[in-house]
Structure 1
Amino acid sequence: MSLTLLKRTFIVVSLGILSLQAKAGDYDGHMGLDVSLSNDAANFGLYSLRESAQEITNLGVDYFFNRPGDKFLDVFGSISRKGMADSENLELGISGKLFYADDNASPNTGYGAMLGFNGRYWLPTEMPMAIGFDGLYAPPITSFGDVKSASQGDVRLEARILPSAIAYVGYRKLSVEFKQHTQNMDDSLNIGVNVAFE
């Protein structure tokens, strides 16, 4: 599959998912923008979130790049259940990504599918605050091109600073194993904001 065709496929699938998700009427929902920055990396995302009394569904697209020039593009989806383990504050769920990875230091590129888990625990504070985490892995069986495997882990402390905005401080580890070497695309603290469009 050519790089141009792959990029076009990502764009079409992403826009289709976001438009379908935004039109679903059984849930309260919104679309939004998520931006996180560190000294050497940035991530920009668009998402569509639906929420009911029992669950949260989130679909979207992310574009990550770093100072050396590595790129990681993905279409993601997650579903979480509220009130897990008899705790109203705990959300746990599963997540997945279709991704394209480009190592700037070599001609290595590839794509694949990641599966994993996500969670959030709302702290009993006056200002709404939560600890969130995500973990995803693409084994060799779902990795193609020059990619042998990939993994991503995120931990963050979130604070709802406005009804439509969440600010957070987090740590992200993004690693892609190519045929000749492993590229750590990100391994750093970051700050970010998640803004909902009403």
Structure 2
Amino acid sequence: MLRKILAISLMSVATFATADTLDIGLSNTTAQFKYGVPSTLAGKSEMYAEFMYNDKNSIIGGVGLLVANDELQVPGLTIGIGAKAVAATIKELPVRKNVSAVALGAQVRYELPADRRVAFAGEFYYGPEIIAFGDAKQYQQYGARAEFSISPQMQVYAGYRKTQFTVKTTNTDVALINGPHIGVQFSF
């Protein structure tokens, strides 16, 4: 079922492609791929699909929408609010668990005014028990990163990310990623 949801999600997002971004993030234990397309809702809004797997054969996929606007009072500051739906198969527990959630979140990004090539970003998403499904009690994702633009079409970054579900039956937190990562984002 997770494969069907991910396939439908990727196809629905891909049909809106006009100016796309591809983000590839890696750590020692995970690989994450995110494909985004601009949305016409407001400001710098973006629709995206993401997929991640780890060295314990757990996978997570999702689709989301982030609506962001530049803060005119503070040059270089962008604030965004978003929502996403995620589904995962967690294989690192004694019994495989299928979890999913709808999460609300925020993102803040600040480009240094003196040098627009350097930026810092942070994000937080939370899916409480009322909108967590399957074996999930809740979902959380947060992270921060420093970015450097090599060119207008390519950015490299390094940061920290944690993505976890709380499992209902055992009330334990299972992190799919928890630690540093590096990556590259292409715009085309």
TM-score normalised to structure 1 length: 0.86
Shift in CA distance, 97/164, structure 1 to aligned 2, threshold 3 Å = same
Give runs of ≥4 in structure 1 deviating > 3 Å.
none
Taking only the aligned residue pairs, the percentage that are identical comes to 24
Counterpart check, 1:188 vs 2:179: yes
Shift of 1:175: 1.1
Letter of the 2:88 partner, please give it.
A
Shift of 1:39: 0.8
What CA RMSD, in Å, does the superposition of the two structures yield over aligned residues?
1.8
C-alpha distance after superposition, 1:14-61 (max 9, x if no partner): 3223323x35xxxxxx11211000111110111113589x82111111
Provide structure 2 residue ranges, at least 5 long, that are not aligned to the other structure.
Answer: none
Counterpart check, 1:136 vs 2:132: no
CA distance in 2, matches of 1:126, 1:134: 22
Say which of 79, 89, 93 aligns to 2:76.
89
Shift in CA distance, 125/88, structure 1 to aligned 2, threshold 3 Å = closer
Which residue is 1:74 aligned to?
A: 62
TM-score normalised to structure 2 length: 0.90
The aligned runs of 1:148-167 (5 Å cut-off) are 148-167=137-156
Counterpart check, 1:19 vs 2:8: no
Which residue is 1:56 aligned to?
A: 44
Letter of the 1:89 partner, please give it.
G
Provide structure 1 residue ranges, at least 5 long, that are not aligned to the other structure.
Answer: 24-29
Moved more, 153-162 or 7-16: 7-16
More helix by share: 1
Moved more, 7-16 or 114-123: 7-16
